[in-house]
Amino acid sequence: LGVDIMTGHWEFTYKADEIRANIALGNSEFLSQNVRVKEDALFDGAQAYDEDSGHAFKPYTIKELADGVRIAIIGQAFPYTPIANPQRFIPDWTFGIQQDALQELTDAIRTNDKPDAVVLLSHNGMDVDLKLASRVTGIDAIFGGHTHDGVPAAIPVKNPSGTTLVTNAGSNGKFVGVLDLTIKQGKVRGYQYRLVPVFANFLEPDPQMLAHIERVRAPHINKLNEVLTYTDSLLYRRGNFNGTFDEVIC
């Protein structure tokens, strides 16, 4: 799909070796500062991105853009994975928000890498991101996910040393969040944020991807097309709380 950087959520519904194999198949950098390998697992030879820090995956990356501008992107995977997903699939890893570790990492990046801006790519959910932005300093913007909120404007959140912009661009490719940062003398001086709607029906499908989807669906097409029942009212889904379609699923 041409995604440069990603972090994790449902990727962790597979076993650890499958997760690593799936990540290796893609062309994206997979980042997560809050997934660590347990000490006893490291002692037994469990794989880690960095055995000294315990990070299971690369925690951040630096992207060099036009005019020599350098952006640090930190990954924040879904913190409640062991509660929401089968923990037996990932027995060697710990998750959580890891607020203190995030602050320590942000400070180290600011000191050692000296980026022009620091961005957190987060799957915390909107409410957690808003609270995190008020507590952790040194992050210029948070690109959030998980709660499916299509937020039309970036929300500036004050913290002890400045302001962090919190954004969320919905789900399922319905929107693209576009954040333009004005950077001067190594600092963010201004921004413009747009929540761009994606009208999928107006986009020509990629022929190769369409053929792949049809090929995967073909053996199951009769079951997929089976009509189970009809409804007289709209079934909808909403990420924050249950919707009518969630009730049908459950």
Q: What are the mean pLDDT values of the chain's consecutive 10-residue runs (250 residues total)?
A: 92 93 94 97 95 97 93 98 90 97 98 98 97 98 93 97 96 92 94 95 93 97 94 77 77
Q: Report pLDDT for 18.
A: 95
CA gap 158, 146 in Å, rounded: 23
Q: Report pLDDT for 238.
A: 65
- C-alpha distances in angstroms, 13 versus 18, 82, 84? 10, 10, 9
Q: Report pLDDT for 241.
A: 63
Q: Report yes or no: 98 and 112 within 8 Å, Cβ to Cβ.
A: no
Give backbone dihedrals phi and psi of 192, rounded to 5 degrees, phi first.
Answer: -135, 130
Q: Report pLDDT for 243.
A: 77
CA gap 2, 176 in Å, rounded: 14
The alpha carbon dihedral of 20, 51, 140, 165 has a sign of positive
Q: Report yes or no: 152 and 195 within 8 Å, Cβ to Cβ.
A: yes
Q: Report pLDDT for 60.
A: 98
Q: Report pLDDT for 245.
A: 81
CA gap 248, 220 in Å, rounded: 22
CA gap 1, 128 in Å, rounded: 28
Q: Report pLDDT for 66.
A: 83
Q: Report pLDDT for 2.
A: 83
